Amino acid sequence: MSTALLALFAVILCILFRILNVNSAPQKPLLICKDEGFLSTVLKIAPAITEPYKPTRLWGFSGHVQTIVHSIIGRVRCPWPIGERVYMGLADETTLTYDLYQPLSNTHEDDVTIAICPGIGNSSESVYIRTFVHFAQCHGYRCAVLNHVGALSSVKVTSPRIFTYGHTDDYHTMLKNLMERHPSTKIVCVGFSLGGNLVTKYMGEQGVNKASNIIGAISICQGYNALEGTKYLLNWTNFRRFYLYIMTESVRNIILRHKNVLLSEDVKKKHNLNEKEIVSAATLPELDEAYTRKVHNFKSVKDLYKWSSSLFYLHNIAAPVVFVNALDDPIIHESLLEPVKDLATTKMQVLYVQLAHGGHLGFYEGGLLYPNPITWLDRTLVALVGSLTLAHSDRALKSY
């Protein structure tokens, strides 16, 4: 009996070690950048991207655990930064808000604002956003965080819409208001996951009167192509269907929380919405078929996804941009990363940073079981903002 128990214990340990991937070793990020001058400037402030990333030893080498810990627990010793909530009434009667946080130190000659676009259904109150904002404030940066319409339970939805995957108007409105308040500030756009897609699409949209103060952008853990990405999320390989379920529930809960406005009888009649179909939708494509594409007047979900995907706007980007992805991100299939790798090999002022580990927005580092309070992502993003600021200053000197 004892032998059988020992054998069972050994099997459990082997499975656990396999799941946690503990045999892996820290690896240096893969850097792809055609522009050697731009890369050299970035590395002056952000040498961390050339050094091995060291995940938390016992569980940090698992992309699933990194992702789940980030989603459920968030950051260690997470602060709650103090800022000002800005309210704006839009022409379509939407109440748009963003939170503005002033720097806590005077460590820079330049006035720099980090304009943050959070992930799906997230806001300034999301734990990973709060931690990054506080860390950036302590390093002398102002931060502006877009609150996706519908994401804050404390802010009522006042028009029959919430955020979408590709509409960049809300982000642009925040930037315009920000420049009215701080006309001389230099802006670095930072987007996480869905926010990374929105920021990238915004940077590449033609005919859009983008904020003139933008000096660069950083995208973290986006999938670039919703058309192809959704196909992978719809199968159970690497448990992607589980993550799709979580995202579907998040968006549906937002819709139902504000159903008095979003699903009023007038709105349902105008857009031919069936509430039962919305409530019973099992996946995001089903929910987008029942709700999103109808409210935003797309003929099909395919049309909505193609229009929303930043992939189709990459080559129009003129400002410096840094893309960050993890190879073990359980939500983003590896094949989705190829187009942005190709972009970094052909386009100037583009840097692609790929980590072997980190999961989806996790990037915990240090420690055996208990990670460092500041993640690799937080400290590296602050350094990359500094790098883009330096690159802008160098270009200004050369043009002068």
Catalytic amino acids? 193, 329, 360
The whole-angstrom separation of Cα 304 and Cα 289 is: 10
Sheet holding 214-220, edge to edge: 30-32, 350-355, 321-326, 214-220, 186-192, 112-117, 142-147, 95-101, 84-89
Q: Tell me if 352 sits within 8 A of 244, measured CB to CB.
A: no
Angle at 178 between CA 307 and CA 133, to 5 degrees: 85
* 398 HSE (CA, 13 A, CB side): 7
Q: Tell me if 360 sits within 8 A of 72, measured CB to CB.
A: no
One-letter amino acid of 218: I
> Which one, of 166, 187, 164, 163, lies nearest residue 175 by Cα?
187
Which tokens belong to 86? Answer: 């800005």
The neighbour count for residue 66, using CB atoms within 10 Å, is: 28
Q: Where are the alpha helices (DSSP H) in the chain?
A: 2-20, 36-45, 63-72, 127-138, 169-181, 194-204, 226-233, 240-257, 259-262, 265-271, 275-280, 284-287, 293-295, 301-308, 338-346, 376-399
Beta bridge partners of 187: 113, 214
